[in-house]
């Protein structure tokens, strides 16, 4: 399994984001949300300040009708937004369980399984939406591209 070590990160700082949230049929079908977000940022000439990511708001894994929020980090002074494109400060997280996956998006389930097992075995519980941070990816997205690098972060607290 192409993973770097699992880790516990203490204090992930708050960050300003632009985002679009919606219910998508399945995890790989985020394209329309990304298109909407990128089109707005392009029109407003707002450049992302870091790696883009997706927040998953469902309390548990779902095969269909996934509550996803695609996000681009933006400058703290950036203002704007629409009814669909939101600008806000994503709160800091005190403790994150993290894993870095080197490989295709269609193999991310291996990384998630390892991370969820680590969380349970170490006496933690999930306390917020997980983040998939796309450190290295390409456009157009290919689910089977082995060169991708994705960090999965899950907010946790001790049980």
**Domain-located, residue 40:** yes
- C-alpha angle 66-73-5 in degrees, rounded to nearest 5: 70
pLDDT in the model for residue 83: 95
**Domain-located, residue 2:** no
**CATH at 116:** 3.20.80.10
Write out pLDDT tens, residues 16-37. 999 999 999 999 899 999 999 9
Domain that holds residue 84: 7-158
pLDDT in the model for residue 2: 64
To the nearest whole number, what is the mean pLDDT of the chain?
94
**Domain-located, residue 116:** yes
122: CB partners within 8 A, 6+ apart: 8
Write out pLDDT tens, residues 102-137. 999 999 999 999 999 999 999 999 999 999 999 999
93, two tokens: 């997280």
How far is 60 from 72, CA to CA, in rounded Å? 24
**Domain-located, residue 112:** yes
Q: Work out how many domains the chain is built from and give that number.
A: 1
User: What pTM did the predictor assign?
Assistant: 0.93
**Domain-located, residue 21:** yes
């Amino acid at each position: 399994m192409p993973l770097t070590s699992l880790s516990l990160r203490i204090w992930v700082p708050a960050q300003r984001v632009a985002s679009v949230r919606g219910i998508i049929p399945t995890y790989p079908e985020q394209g329309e949300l990304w298109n909407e977000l990128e089109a707005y940022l392009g029109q407003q000439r707002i450049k992302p300040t870091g790696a883009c990511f997706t927040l998953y708001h469902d309390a548990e894994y779902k095969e269909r009708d996934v509550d996803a929020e695609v996000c681009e980090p933006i400058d703290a002074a950036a203002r704007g937004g629409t009814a669909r494109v939101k600008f806000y400060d994503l709160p800091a997280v005190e403790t994150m369980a993290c894993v870095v996956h080197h490989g295709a998006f269609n193999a991310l389930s291996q990384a998630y399984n390892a991370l969820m097992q680590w969380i349970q075995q170490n006496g933690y519980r999930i306390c917020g939406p997980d983040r998939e941070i796309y450190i290295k990816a390409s456009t157009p997205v290919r689910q089977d591209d082995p060169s991708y690098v994705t960090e999965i972060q899950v907010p946790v607290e001790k049980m």
